Structure 1
């Protein structure tokens, strides 16, 4: 079964989108804290207070869909240019929410209960999002899938955009402290 938790155009600043469960959560610019030990540069899951997702469009609106799955998804659809998977743990006694930069926009994700999760972020149009910051309509799209799973290393499943390749090279590979 698939439970849709969010499906809408989310207006971001600085391309910041977080899944968080702490008042202290949310990306604060500390790449090492969010990407420590990870190979990818798009989805930071090393911080215990949440997961940072780098949206290609710096400002403006990008369609974001978040779904909770009962079982692991199959292979990602070929229409998604960039796909990354990470693991995270949602602790007991927290409220899970999504939020944009500085908490400007947010919403609750009440169906996510405490436990271990795998998070797959699928992206399409990252190059257009990076280049089309002031475009009138949507130019990049995101599907965030979550399912119960034991912790595992992050995986870059697919890189099809120059934008994702840049971020993987710039922020990823933090297995060794820089």
Structure 2
């Protein structure tokens, strides 16, 4: 599965956004809770058109993120503790990965409706660490898999961390 982005993403406040910019405004929504409100999962919100709002365990620091694109749904690898899926309309092939102060670009082969699978490992450990010291690295890591697919309901495929369970509850209005 081709990688369209792989690198360390500088997070602040425990979030990463991915969005397409159909009107060229460069605007993204900053409503972190609203992006996930009413969904089954609380890790990746898709309630804002053309945008995904993803939660990280680490509050501040660099986390590894890989974004892949394929023509069909990949297998779910056992290495990931938490796995969720949403649908998103990526209306342009050029995407922006954005955090509080940083932005990174990536390009997918085709725009349109996609399924997005967010895979997470070490989220509880990242939340416990909060902010790494200079000699520490983030214990959590993230994979976002994209493939063309018609819109469908979001889904929790695997729940293994306490912080994921908490965010799922927030999205469902249980917290």
Shared fold per TM-score greater than 0.5: yes
Q: Which residue of structure 2 aligns with residue 10 of structure 1? A: 9
2: distance between equivalents of 1:141 and 1:47?
A: 24
SS at match of 2:119: strand
Matches within 5 A, 1:88-99: 88-91=88-91, 95-99=94-98
Q: TM-score, normalised by structure 1?
A: 0.87
Q: TM-score, normalised by structure 2?
A: 0.88
2: distance between equivalents of 1:129 and 1:137?
A: 10
* Structure 2 portions without partners, runs of 5+: none
* Residues 87, 116 of structure 1: 8 Å contact kept: yes
Q: Deviations over 1:120-155 (max 9, x none)?
A: 000000000000123311210101100000101000
Find runs of 4+ consecutive structure 1 residues off by over 3 angstroms. none
Change (3 A) 1:134 1:30: closer
Q: Which residue of structure 1 aligns with residue 127 of structure 2? A: 130
Q: Deviations over 1:19-60 (max 9, x none)?
A: 11232214x13523x124411111000101311001111101
Give the length in aligned residue pairs.
168
Q: Which residue of structure 2 aligns with residue 24 of structure 1? A: 27
* Residues 96, 112 of structure 1: 8 Å contact kept: no
Matches within 5 A, 1:76-87: 76-87=76-87
